[in-house]
With several copies, the nearest count.
Chain A
């Protein structure tokens, strides 16, 4: 693996510096390794995201207009330490509290919780909503064991919009929880990414196998299946999402007439060509079920270096979420004009 880097031990610091440069004055570097918007209005209920680096453009690429106010950035594939969470919290807080919205990984939960304790010591009101969209990581009765994967992009987009109008932390928390509850993802992986510091692959998988339901670092899913066609795999993956809405007693089954936001993500090496071919099948799949695609996102937004793999995320939309969606937004991760495609 030829990587264009300088010092393998400094990649996380340097990439966050570069990210701040990409924002060209709209964001600043804060504390040890956080990125925070410059123009957060007084009294805004703040939205903070974060997690390990190396998955660019997430998580820190989700800071932006009508998106997150800041991000606490960890080292490669490692949760940000509590002081970084605290420094980011202090910087985004405008007196009306801070919502932490991040993927459910043990390391992240421990460090964000510690960061929350430090922040509360400074009288900052902090609330946490965990993202656990990966339906293959635990059954619907054990959602607290589920991982956060690509669904965090639409969820943060929706919460970012909600944070523009929310007048209390309670309100923003409720909106974010709704976005989480309505979003489900399934991912697969076909080959590993590598850790810049060691150059070593993050996991092993046979040349002719696909890890169905595998997480974004190679965590196990529901099965290892033989390499197959884009169309067959798409159906298998979407069936798992449909089944989860069915089995989960907290949400209604997906049914004819429902509207969904569809996100097709690449884990890195899987090309846009492949995403679009899979998207084509997904469109046919939902159309056949009478489920309407409200809007579409596609691209390599949640990655793990040069890992190959794809995920589908589905968010069931209602009027509240549609309102959040239609707001324009702008970031290195995801930008859009007002409205939606075909709308």
Chain B
């Protein structure tokens, strides 16, 4: 039986599980970025998630939001580059919007992703269709809004499917942002590396809550 809500410590442990999953997926992300970018997304995310583990392990947080904000800060300050700012902003904006809530529920999931994707789009200027992580994140946020009333386990499951579908859809897009825009028409056929990261992150959240 999946979880109805997550406590602060469970949210923290979920993010530790996410970190492990991303670290484990480094080769997949490296390959994705090697195909379309400069090949450093895997090591970048790995470095970010190692910092996340250091920031979260055995720490107590006053709210769910602070957990996510800690994740964002750790990624932002350890990764640097565009993706440090982008993924850092996702977790910081999403976490900030959760206020001082002490549990993470379906409504929290909706708030987190809605504010997260807005922060990312404001920070980086990418719109859906530009073949970035926004193409996994925006559909995830939309779906999260629809399933805000469900238990967190079910909400995250629906959101993970949406992120995965968004990632898959990014394969057909032509890159217009970042390094991959060099490739133009040749960028078609492969998924965006950042979108892969989003799909992996949300899937790991789902698996934890399940």
Contact = CB atoms under 8 A, between A and B. Distances in A.
- Scoring A52, A74, A111, A195 by chain B CB atoms within 10 A of each residue's CB, the highest score goes to A111
B39 A200 contact: yes
Contact of A81 (B78, B177, B179): B78
Best-buried of B44, B85, B124, B178 by chain A (most CB within 10 Å): B85
A143 to B, nearest CB: 15
Nearest to B84: A81
Interface in A66-93: 74-75, 77-84
Contact of B86 (A110, A195, A217): A110
A106 B182 contact: no
A256 B36 CA distance: 46
Contacts, number: 80
Contacts of B88: 81-82, 114
B3 interface: no
A202 interface: yes
Interface string A180-222: 0000000000000001011010110000000000000111100
Contact of B85 (A52, A75, A82, A203): A82
Given A78-B81, A107-B85, A110-B85, A202 B76 contact: no
B38 A106 contact: no
Interface string B36-50: 001110011000000
Nearest to B83: A107
Contacts of B177: 106
Given A106-B124, A106-B177, A219-B182, A111 B80 contact: yes
B81 A107 contact: yes
A110 B90 CA distance: 13
A269 to B, nearest CB: 19
Interface string B163-202: 0000000000000011100100000000000000000000
A219 B177 CA distance: 12
Contacts of A78: 40, 44, 79-81, 84
A331 interface: no
B7 interface: no
Interface string A103-122: 00011001101100000000
A81 B82 contact: no
Contacts of B89: 110, 114
A81 B79 contact: yes
Contact of A114 (B40, B78, B85): B85
A32 interface: yes
Contacts of A107: 80-85
A202 B77 CA distance: 24
Contacts of B80: 74-75, 78-81, 84, 107, 111
Contact of A195 (B38, B79, B85): B38
Contacts of B39: 195, 198, 200
A35 B39 CA distance: 28
Interface in A25-69: 32, 52
Nearest to B182: A220
A294 B209 CA distance: 62
Interface in B37-65: 38-40, 43-44
A75 B78 CA distance: 10
A80 B179 CA distance: 18
A110 B40 contact: no
Nearest to B48: A81
Given A74-B81, A77-B38, A81-B79, A110 B124 contact: yes
Contacts of B82: 79, 106-107, 110
A198 B89 CA distance: 27
A32 B79 CA distance: 12
Interface in B91-124: 123-124
Given A78-B81, A107-B85, 10 more contacts: A74-B80, A81-B80, A81-B88, A106-B124, A106-B125, A111-B84, A113-B123, A198-B40, A200-B39, A218-B182
Task: Across the A-B interface, give the 8 residue pairs with the lowest CB-CB distance, nearest first.
Answer: A107-B82, A78-B81, A110-B85, A81-B80, A83-B77, A78-B80, A81-B77, A107-B81
12 contacts: A79-B82, A81-B85, A82-B88, A84-B80, A106-B178, A107-B81, A107-B84, A114-B123, A195-B39, A197-B40, A198-B39, A217-B179
